[in-house]
Amino acid sequence: MKRPIAYVAGTGRGVPSHVMTNFDFASIGIETSDEWITERTGIKQRYIARNGETTCSMAADAARQAMQRANVSAGELDAIVLSTATTDRLLPSTAVDLQAQLGARRAAAFDISAACSGFIYGATVAEGLIATGVTETVLVVGAEKMSSIIDWQDRSTCVLFGDGAGAAILKRARHTPSGQLPKGILSAYIRSDGTLADLLYRPGGGSTNPLSDAVLAERSQFVKMAGREVFKHAVRSMSEATDRALDGAKLTGDDIDLLIPHQANMRIIEATAKHANVSMDKVFVNVDRYGNTSSASVPIALDEAIEAGRIKEGTNVLLVAFGAGFTWASMVIRF
């Protein structure tokens, strides 16, 4: 089917009120420093959920903002696609809890799990739903409470992650008058490689390894990461994803006005931009203020970029991400 099928009608974000800086780790007994964290990651602070803030409550904040900006009511939503690795409960999905909070009674709601690539996966699913004619208007959300699955005794991981949510409303693409460039999703690419799963995963907590005294004693309910290997595969997969999205949109790096990569690590961001031939002045970066918010990373950055005036009518935006799985994904959108 000829693209664009869907366009982004509005975006939003929701983050906790509490900010944790690099200097705050000393108060919980982590031997690290602002200089060490900043040099290796580019992160200066992150938002951490407290006082009853949940994956669903952050998702609801982001969703309501996106709906308001898109001038869409809860009753107009045909579907809700929510990506998260930190569901508030195992059953039912966080998406149906969000549906209830929004009052979107006629929407089909479901979770997907693609870790940090999840928002782009979700937007691709939403585009497909619109293409089939099943839906006209879809809410896509990436929401994470990473602080709930991080080992706060493990310096190598606890400094990296933060909490938050980002959302977008996707609607069926409008007819484009003659002579105007079409607005919407120009290309999308998603891939995964399960043979790399043990590089970034949570060993305990599933049905094959439920929480037990042994699991808790080994702290295997928390995220484990082989940092050096993750970095290597992240650069490789995000480079491939940028190539495929650009090819699909029949564009080059010179045609991209703004690159929004997954905000995991400054060195990965810089390597991805270099491969795509996009100068750093055309790369949106907020990893210093949010850390790695997993599937919320790309939509939070997208919303901030729009709010900051970095994205206007006619802007070509390249989204790219990688995550546990391994998963990787990319998308080109003309606004």
DSSP string, 196-228: GGGGEE--SSSTTS---HHHHHHTTTS-EE-HH
List the strands of the sheet with 6-14, edge to edge.
Answer: 6-14, 163-172, 137-145, 79-83, 108-112
The beta strands (E) that lie in 70-180 are given as 79-83, 108-112, 137-145, 163-172
User: What is the residue type of 256?
Assistant: I
One of 22, 265, 292, 316 is an active-site residue; which one? 292
How far CA 182 is from CA of 6, 73, 132, 253, 310, in Å, comes to 10, 25, 20, 19, 19
How far apart (Å, rounded) are the C-alpha atoms in residues 135 and 115? 25
Choosing from 116, 158, 265, 316, the catalytic residue is: 116
Dist. CA 255–CA 246, nearest whole Å: 9
Residues 6+ apart with CB under 8 A from 84: 55, 59, 94, 111, 113, 118, 142, 143, 144, 294, 295
**Catalytic residue of the set 22, 158, 262, 316:** 262
CA 92 to each of CA 112, 121, 208: distance values in angstroms, whole numbers, following the listed order = 13, 21, 19
Catalytic residue at 275? no
**How many alpha carbons lie under 13 Å from residue 233 in its C-beta half-sphere?**
22
Contact yes or no for 159/41 (Cβ under 8 A): yes
Token pair for residue 117? Answer: 């690539």
Q: Is 292 a catalytic residue?
A: yes
Catalytic positions: 116, 262, 292
